[in-house]
Structure 1
Amino acid sequence: MNGQLRGKTAIVTGAASGIGRATAALFAARGAAVLAVDRDEKGLLELRDEVAAAGDELAVLAVDLTSAGAAERVFDHCAEVVGTPDVLANIAGRAGDRPAADTTDEDFEFFLRTNLGTTFALSRRAVIAFGDAGGAIVNTSSTFALTGVAGSAPYSAAKGAVSSLTRQMAAEYGRRGIRVNAVAPGLIETPATRAKIAAGVFDDLVTRSRPLPRVGQPIDVARVVAFLASDEAAFVTGLTIPVDGGWSSTHFRG
C-alpha cells in the first residue's frame, strides 16, 4: 500500500489535528504530493515535522477556509508549491450538539458555513482545477447524517447536505472522469472528543450499541479516504461510506 497514491497531488483540509492530520500524513506516506491546509499554523508545522521524521514530506498552508476567496487561495498555492491537484480531501468541519429549538439563526449559519459552505467552495474550485484530466473528491459527512440523533439538528442537517452534494457532483462530473465520494465517521477519538470519551459520555449511545465496540481512531477514517482517493476506487462514485464500527447500520444487544 506504500505507493497507493504515488503520482497523485492532493489537498487535505483540516490537517492540523484529528482525521485531517491522519489523512495528510497517510497520503504523504503512500506517495502523494500533499498540501495540508488548516487555520492552525502551529498544528500544521508540527505535522510537517512529524511527516519529515517519518521520511516523507508535505507542504502546508494556514488559512481560514470560511474567509472570502479561501478556496482560490488554496488551489493557487497548491499549484505553485506542490503542483496541479487531482485529489481533494475535504476533512475540515465543526461538530456540535444543539436541538432545533435551541438553535439560533447564527448557530445554523455557522454549521452550514463550516461544514457545507467550505466543502462546496473547495469542491467547485476542484472541478475547475481538475479540468478534463479527471480527479477525485472525498468529502466528510457523518453518521449523524445517516440516522436521526436527538440534539444535533444543525450539524446533522449540514452533514446531510454534504452527502447530498456528494451524490449531485458525482452525477454532474462523472463523464469528465471526476469521482466524488464521502466518508461518514462515527465516534472517533480526536482532540475534540477525547475528554468526553474518557468521561464515558458516549458509552451507552455509541460504544455499547455497535458490534465493534472500540472507539474509532483517525487512521481508521484516513485509510478509507485514501482508498477513495486512489485508482483502486476507480469505479466508485456518489457514495457516502460509514466508518463507524457498524453503528449506523446495526443494532447490537449484549
Structure 2
Amino acid sequence: MTGRLAGRTAIVTGAASGIGRETALVFAREGAAVLAVDRDADGLAETVAQGEELAVFAIDLTERGAAAAVFAACAAELGPPDTVANIAGAAGDRGIEHSTDEDLDRYVELNLGITFRMCREAVAVLGEGGSIVNTSSAVALTGMRGTAPYSAAKAAISGLARQLAADHGRRGIRVNAVAPGLIRTPATAERIDAGVFDETVTRSRPLARVGTPRDVANAFAFLASDDAAFITGVTLPVCGGWTTTRFRG
C-alpha cells in the first residue's frame, strides 16, 4: 500500500461483507480514517476483526434520515468526511416481464435511493478535493438478459455520477462510479461454483477469471485518491473486459 489516502476521512457503506468490506479495509491500509457503515452489526464486527483500525456505524440506510445520521456520526467520531464510497446495494436477476412494482421499488430504493441520499448529504459538506465514488454495474453498461430492474437502477447511478460531476466540479468535488462485473462475494459464490456464469460471463471475456473484492476495492481507492485528481463523471468498469469486448477462443 502506498498511503495515497493518508489524511483523508472516508465513509464506506456496505462494509459488512464483500466489496464494501474490502474497500473499507483497503482505504484504511491506504491511510484513511474510515467509518464503515452497514445495517449488519455482526458483519461490521467481522470487518473490524480483519485487523484494521476502523470506526463502525450500524444503520439501515433505507430509513429516512439515515444518511444525515451517518454524516453526523462521522463528524463526531472522525471529523468531517472528504471521501464517500457508496457501495451498499442489492443485485438480482429478474426480467421485466417477471418484475412487479414491488420489485422495481426494491431495486431502485436499495441501489439508487440509498446512493442518491448519501450523495445529497455529501455535496452539502464536501469541499475542495472531496471525492464521491458510487457503485454502478457492468450489466448497466452493456445489458444482460433477465436483470431489468437492477440494471435500470444501476444505470441511473452512472447518470447520477455525470450529473453531480457537472453540478459540483467547480467546487473541486469529483464524482465517479465503479461498475463491477462478476465478483466472488458471499452473494455470488454458490452460483459461481455451480458454473452458472461460465458461458455468459467468464469464458466470454479476455480475462477469464472471476473478479475479487480486492479488484474492485483497488478501483475505489484509485478514484478516491489524488491519483485520479483530473477524473470526474466517469464510470470505470472492473469486469475483465466483459463490457468492452466479446472474446472467442
The reply on whether 1:88 has 2:84 as its aligned counterpart is yes
The CA deviation at 1:82 is 1.0
TM-score, normalized by length of structure 1?
0.97
1:1-254 equivalent positions in 2, closer than 5 A:
1-51=1-51, 56-130=52-126, 132-254=127-249
Counterpart CA distance in 2 for 1:129 and 1:50 is 30
Counterpart CA distance in 2 for 1:129 and 1:49 is 30
The CA deviation at 1:48 is 1.0
TM-score, normalized by length of structure 2?
0.99
Aligned length: 249
* Letter in structure 2 aligned against 1:97: D
The CA deviation at 1:2 is 2.9
The CA deviation at 1:211 is 0.3
* Letter in structure 2 aligned against 1:166: A
The CA deviation at 1:221 is 0.4
* Letter in structure 2 aligned against 1:65: L
Any idea what SS the aligned residue of 1:133 has? coil
Counterpart CA distance in 2 for 1:185 and 1:244 is 6
Deviation per CA, 1:68-106: give whole Å up to 9, x if none: 100000000000001100000001110001110111001
Counterpart CA distance in 1 for 2:128 and 2:80 is 11
Any idea what SS the aligned residue of 1:61 has? strand
Tell me the C-alpha RMSD between the 2 structures. Answer: 0.7
Following TM superposition, the consecutive aligned residue runs of length 4 or more in structure 1 with deviations greater than 3 angstroms are none
Counterpart CA distance in 1 for 2:195 and 2:128 is 48
* Letter in structure 2 aligned against 1:87: T
* Letter in structure 1 aligned against 2:99: T
Q: Structure 1: which 5+ runs fail to align?
A: none
Counterpart CA distance in 2 for 1:2 and 1:82 is 22
The CA deviation at 1:134 is 3.8
* Letter in structure 1 aligned against 2:195: G
Any idea what SS the aligned residue of 2:142 has? coil
Deviation per CA, 1:19-40: give whole Å up to 9, x if none: 0000000000110000000011
The CA deviation at 1:191 is 0.1
